[in-house]
Amino acid sequence: MAEAERIIGTPDTPDAAGDGQERPDAEQEQPPERPRGKRRIAVLFAVAAFAYALDLVSKMIVVAKLEHQEPIEIVGDWLRFVAIRNAGAAFGFGEAFTVIFTVIAAAVIVVIARLARKLYSLPWAIALGMLLGGALGNLTDRIFRAPGVFEGAVVDFIAPKHFAVFNLADSAIVCGGILIVILSFRGLDPDGTVHKD
């Protein structure tokens, strides 16, 4: 029984470090874990703030300098910057469901905020931070840009050849999602525990 508890222990339990021995002063060992959890939350929100700020500034520049202008070639015709307004999801699908995408983005933000309370893994903090920052970036467009509140079109501008036009918020969401898939395959949970299936 003690061995099973050692294997499935979490950072919230004093035996999560994994030496399998019972420790009588369990309450005294919990305080070091809490600051570490708070540091992971700080990393999550720092990454989210950085991704959000980068996306917001890039869109402000694009709207001010690139909208209604000719595309700018970055790498020949393989990569261009061209300002478009996307009322749908990725690849321009679902333009009639802008409000639904807005609700989904808001729900993702709420879920991440709730999950943050149980966060003890640095890689998960980075991944969730990228997701949060990207979701906030596109949600800002949905709320504040034309044609209206919760129906706003997202500003996209990165246009690789033979691919959809996207923005930095989309990039943060995709990178965060890929990192989450990798962490899940490796068996690392947000609370810092590792499981092997």
Query: What's the full length of the chain, in residues?
Result: 197
Give SS3 for 74.
strand
Active site residue 55: no
Instruction: Give the active site residue among 156, 189, 191, 197.
Output: 156
Tokens of 17: 């470090």
Tokens of 104: 């989904």
CA dihedral for 93, 97, 102, 104, sign (positive or negative): negative
Helices (H) and strands (E) in the chain, counts: 5, 3
Tokens of 78: 């393989």
Q: How is 127-183 classified by DSSP, letter by letter?
A: HHHHHHHHHHHHHHHHHHSTT-TT-PPEEEEEEETTS--B-HHHHHHHHHHHHHHHH
Active site residue 170: yes
- Residue-wise burial string across 129-156, b where 16 or more C-beta atoms lie within 10 A, e elsewhere: bbbbbbbbbbbbbbeebeeeeeebbbbb
Instruction: Give the active site residue among 12, 15, 55, 170.
Output: 170
The catalytic site residues sit at 156, 170
